[in-house]
Chain A
Amino acid sequence: MSWVEDWAVTVATFLPLVGAIVLLFLPSAREGLVKLVGSLFAGGTLLAALAVVVAFDYGHSDRIQLGVNERWIPQIGANYHVGVDGLSLPLLVLSALVCFLCTIYLWWHVPAPGKAKALFALVLLLETGMNGSFIALDLVLFFIFFELVLVPMYFMIGIWGGPRREYAAVKFFLYTLFGSIFLLLGFLALWLQSGSQTFDMLALRDSGGSELFQNVVFLGLFIGFAVKVPMWPFHTWLPDAHTEAPTVGSVLLAAILLKLGTYGFIRIALPILPDAAVTFAPLIGILAVISIIYGSLCCFAQTDLKRLIAFSSVGHMGFVMLGISTLTDRGINGAIFGMVAHGLITGMLFFLAGSMHERYHTREISALGGVLQQIPKFGSVFAYAAIASLGLPGLAGFWGEMLALLGSYQPGAGLSEELFRVLMVGGGIGTVLTAGYLLWTIQRVNLGRVPEKFAAGTGISDVHGLEWVAWAPLLVLIVVGGFYPNLVLGVTSDAVRDLVGLFG
């Protein structure tokens, strides 16, 4: 197994990049070959990620495992330091899975203007950026992966996007870049502060420094990650990016990209600056609950199905951030569970919104209706995903919300109980609102009678084979996660306990 020990994590990150390069040399006319090669590389990456799952020692999930630490840019002390622990493993697997499913989904339909080769290459490039962010243990390495993600997503939105794609793509790029600048600033400050001038996350853990220094640097990291999550009020790039992005772009954006922000908090901001985290936790908690309620309210006002799901992400990621802000074992475990669950469920919802658009050529909620009557399997899957999204116990959406709320009942690190109980109640109101807009959406889209203009039903077919292949893993994992939360919590709990130990 030593080969796996040394290489699995690296392969899971760079194999997609190799795939993207290979694709460039294939003739674009042979679309079938391009799709096959693209999926083979994404599948190989998934296998590499599963090899990591197999080789991982779950008894010591608080330790970095399968790690590699090689000198990279010795002049500035940046190393190629990678590895996985309980915090990153679930997200790495999620990323590899969803990317693979996206390539399968693309077999069915490459959105206008075609160019399958370019799109597959971008998906694979994106995967390298995302997987790399989850395995990087060096700030420079992390930053490069974190920024690498922007480029393929920018082109994905800008080329395959909807009518306002250029605005959305530029807004996405610039807004996150704006956040990244603060992030980089923070990383450089940490580097200067550390006596040994290192970018190593483990060496920088609980790095100390004056209170002012810590708070200023945390603020920088906070802005950088909060834009990515996105937290209110930094979220306005998200609905535009989602609305305009092609289906796989939306799926990847929701399922994985947003997690880079929340993961950044857990991997970098909290362990490196634990004291500042305690200072900022109430602010984060308040913004998280505003995100939950505000995101839910905005959902009620949406007329476009995809935009509605985009706003629902603001609310759901609010629960993740609420969990983190409690600085408790319960809350942070819940946050990671919430990230995975949101990746599965909202990823699924974006697949559905995309497929619905392909069938009905509209995403206007008021124009749709009677989907369950016309294409019952599709309607059932839609209802299932929406009900999962509202946090029904027994499905994956529940545990993240429940643990975040439980964490808020009794926050850690001497945080104000009164404040966090108020936040908990706010979150509770959010769950009612969430149920409200999702059931209302089901009612408008799924139920009722088929509108006249779709009654002829030309081209409106039920779920087909490739869609089942791309969706089945998500649909199954949603219920498995609901009944067997240990799937994620069993991996994260040791690592989270280790992290929580840092907060006074």
Chain B
Amino acid sequence: MNDTLLLAAEAATKEGFFTQYMWLVPLLPFLSFLAIAFFGRRLPGKGHSVGIAAIVIAWVLSMLGFIELASGNAAVQKLWTWFDLEASLELSFGMHFDFLAGIMFVVVTTISMLVQIYSTGYMHDDKRYTWFYAVLSLFTASMLFLVIANNLMMMFVGWEGVGICSYLLIGHYWEEKDNSSAAIKAFITTRVGDVSLLFGIFALFLLGGTFDITELNHLAEEGEIAGTGLTIAALLLFGGAVGKSAQFPLYVWLPDAMAGPTPVSALIHAATMVVAGIYLVGRMFVVFEHAGAALDIVAIIAALTMLLAAVLALVQDDIKKVLAYSTISQLAYMMAALGVGAYTAAIFHLFTHAFFKALLFLGAGSLIHAVHSNNMSDMGGLRKFMPHTFKTFIIGSLALAGIFPLAGFFSKDEIIGEALRAASEGRQVAAWIVLVSALVTAFLTALYMTRACVKTFWGDYRGHGTPHESPGSMVTPLWFLAGASIVVGFLGFPVIGPFKEWITVPGHEHAGFSTLYNIILPIASVALAFGAIALGVLLFHRNRFRYDARSGPFGWAYRFAEHRYYLDDLYLKGIVRPVQYKLARAAYWFNQHILDGVVNGAGSGTLGAARGAYYLDQHVVDSTINGAAGLTGYSGGLLRYIQSGNVQRYAAVLFAAIALFVGVFALT
């Protein structure tokens, strides 16, 4: 570990001061995890002070590092040897801090900081308050470790680290079996993807001879690694992203993950961890570009996912599940952008989405905190009781719906524009599919958010007691995120926004934002969103079309959606339960009756033979030939001793056997 090897990453420009120390950013929350886990109850604020202090410092460092990058300092790579099986495998432990990592650092530390502040209010009465802060810190450390990793194996370690933290936090209220089951579902479903990811990492390692991300991208760019092998490797990597970023067919875990505390849903299951899959494909983007049909498959899977999830968001009563399906749908938006080659737009949407989705989740948490229910049927009319939550939630909803000039508008339009460009250039059939489903999804998004807002804030209050606005510790982060949701979009303002300068495809000179940007597309998409909002108001507020969705002409479709397309049932009843119970019992039955039957049979067979021999000896042989009886009697007795469990006799057996085998071998 000592032989530090400094790579001149991009030798052209000077290196900044803070960017050298970006490895401190994941280390700080990790140290705070250790401190809280071991000494938490004795620390000020039952541990939250340490957690918040660490994340604030990490946030400041991340901002400084990012500012250094933005002011023209070079990306930084540092390596230490992790382990080295000389000839066959060398693994480094390294950091790679560039714009992509920098953006992620800003997102992760910002949201984590706000969530930790918010949780001092939201989790105030929780009996595992200290532990909650410990795991939040560990999660943040793992996520930052994943982001800064310079190689895929290290990234995998962070990847699984965030997975286990997600498991621990989803199951935070583990007294209820449903919650711990949701945690297991999340871990196992994503692990299916993780196995695929691991194999993808192997495949790339054996193609390119390295785990290093920059080198692998470079090798793909140069055509050193290519062909079917590369396509398979990329698709295996994508399998990991499908699990973590909740794409079809592995998205089923994310809605259940809402069993965790709401701040966790905001941090992990909306803003940061679930975008790890997007980050992975983004990191390996050059590999994907050169991997044949891989990007087309990414695009098509994503196009399908965004529609499936948006429809499901429309039929939920639990407000967190609306947001969960919305997250799946928006992740698919990002993935689809990558699929059509819109790298910058995808990362931009990741960036903006983190703010407004975290805002919506924390807002939902504020509502849940007030009415003690997740269900929108227990809410209604809350705009009068909770003005701050109301205003910020509306800002978040408009941002998600893509209304000008909020953040979602810029990023979403960029993706639609890029899809149109890709489609019109005749590059891909997949681009057309993405374009159509992105437009439909934009419409559905505005519709389901209108439904959610109407059901929570308008009409009459349907819950119990009198709801109150949440305390300052919770409202302040809401306003901060609302402010961010308004302004961050301008970073990607067409032509003049700096985002396209920051995030460029590695190795590409001019693949920034679309130069074809025109005025018609954004107007059309905003009109689409307004249309959806108007329709939503008519449907859900004015209740204009008085018909029951369940019994209407599309009742079957409604019921189909209500049952989550039966996909969860298929997995649970078709795979999990049969393996867990039927197949497992069959294997164990085989073990006890067949395999062990042979063993026990051999034992009792030997015993029977010994008894038989002894019987023969005593009653048949003995009465005729006395001389021969001695030997048989001895062997019968010996076999009986075998079964006696008398260890002293085993030596005799052993020596007899040795003598026999030596004799056999000596003769042959």
Contacts and interface: CB of A to CB of B under 8 A. Distances in A.
A181 to B, nearest CB: 5
B195 A297 contact: no
Interface string A425-457: 100110111011001100100011100000000
A300 B180 contact: no
Interface stretch (A123-131, A164-172, A352-360, A466-474): A164-172
A66 to B, nearest CB: 24
B164 A392 contact: yes
B4 to A, nearest CB: 16
Given A151-B647, A373-B175, A431-B191, A188 B89 contact: no
Interface stretch (B295-303, B582-590, B610-618): B582-590
A184 interface: yes
Nearest to B645: A170
B180 A301 contact: no
B230 to A, nearest CB: 15
A425 to B, nearest CB: 8
Interface string A18-29: 000000000000
B588 A301 contact: yes
Contacts of B585: 301
Interface in A457-491: 485-486, 489-490
Interface string B31-44: 00000000000000
A198 interface: no
A300 B184 CA distance: 14
A191 B89 CA distance: 37
Interface stretch (A2-10, A263-271, A405-413): A405-413
Contacts of A425: 199
Interface in A144-203: 147, 151, 154-155, 158, 166, 169-171, 173-175, 177, 180-181, 184-185, 188-189, 192
Q: How large is the interface on B (under 10, 10 to 19, 20 to 34, 35 or more residues)?
A: 35 or more
Contact of A174 (B581, B642, B662): B642
A428 B156 contact: no
Contacts of B206: 409-410
B666 A433 contact: no
A373 B128 CA distance: 10
Contact of B187 (A297, A428, A435): A435
A433 B85 contact: no
B580 A431 contact: no
A188 B595 contact: no
B85 A329 contact: yes
Contacts of A449: 175
Interface string B174-191: 110100110110011001
Given A166-B645, A433-B579, A486 B82 contact: yes
Given A447-B171, A490-B83, A301 B156 contact: no
Interface stretch (B7-15, B511-519, B650-658): B650-658
A431 B157 CA distance: 15
A424 B87 contact: no
Given A236-B599, A447-B171, A436 B188 contact: yes
Nearest to B662: A188
Interface string B1-32: 10000000000000000000000000000000
B47 to A, nearest CB: 15
A192 B1 CA distance: 49
Interface in B629-668: 642-643, 645, 647, 650, 653-654, 657-658, 661-662, 665-666
Contacts of A398: 157, 160
Given A154-B647, A433-B579, A185 B661 contact: yes
Contacts of A382: none
A330 B85 contact: yes
Contacts of B187: 435, 439
* Chain A interface residue bracket vs B: 35 or more
Contact of B199 (A237, A393, A409, A443): A409
Contact of B579 (A300, A370, A448): A300
B103 to A, nearest CB: 25
A189 B665 contact: yes
A297 B583 contact: yes
B377 interface: no
Given A188-B665, A428-B199, A485 B83 contact: yes
Nearest to B646: A170
A431 B585 CA distance: 19
Nearest to A434: B191
B161 interface: yes
Given A181-B657, A428-B195, A447 B662 contact: no
B426 interface: no
Interface string B563-597: 00000000000001001110111011001000110
Contacts of B192: 432
B665 A185 contact: yes
B85 A192 contact: no
B86 A440 contact: no
A298 to B, nearest CB: 5
B633 to A, nearest CB: 22
B596 A392 contact: no
A489 B645 contact: no
Q: Which of A410, A447, A494 is most buried by chain B, counting CB atoms within 10 A of its CB?
A: A447
Contacts of A402: 198
Nearest to B597: A236
B222 interface: no
Contacts of B603: 171, 174
B180 A447 contact: yes
B599 A489 contact: no
A59 B36 CA distance: 40
Contacts of A429: 195
Interface string B530-570: 00000000000000000000000000000000000000000
B175 A448 contact: yes
Contacts of A180: 654
A184 B164 CA distance: 47
B579 A489 contact: no
Contact of B580 (A188, A410, A436): A436
Contacts of A328: 88
A169 B645 contact: yes
Interface string B349-384: 000000000000000000000000000000000000
B202 interface: yes
Contacts of B174: 372, 443, 447-448
Given A236-B596, A393-B156, A294 B85 contact: no
Contact of B647 (A173, A298, A372, A406): A173
Interface in B196-226: 198-199, 202-203, 205-206
A406 B202 contact: yes
A493 B198 contact: no
Given A387-B164, A432-B191, A497-B86, A192 B666 contact: yes
B608 to A, nearest CB: 16
A194 B332 CA distance: 67
Contact of A394 (B157, B181, B191, B587): B157
A133 interface: no
A233 interface: yes
Interface string B76-117: 000000111111110000000000000000000000000000
B595 A333 contact: no
Given A406-B89, A489-B85, 19 more contacts: A147-B654, A171-B603, A180-B654, A233-B595, A236-B595, A298-B587, A300-B584, A329-B88, A373-B175, A387-B164, A392-B164, A393-B157, A394-B161, A429-B195, A432-B195, A436-B580, A439-B188, A447-B171, A485-B82
The 10 closest A-B pairs by CB, nearest first: A300-B584, A301-B588, A297-B587, A329-B88, A393-B157, A447-B174, A428-B195, A170-B645, A301-B584, A236-B596
20 contacts: A171-B603, A174-B642, A185-B665, A188-B661, A188-B665, A233-B595, A297-B583, A297-B587, A298-B588, A333-B85, A392-B161, A403-B89, A424-B199, A424-B202, A428-B195, A429-B195, A431-B195, A439-B184, A448-B175, A448-B177
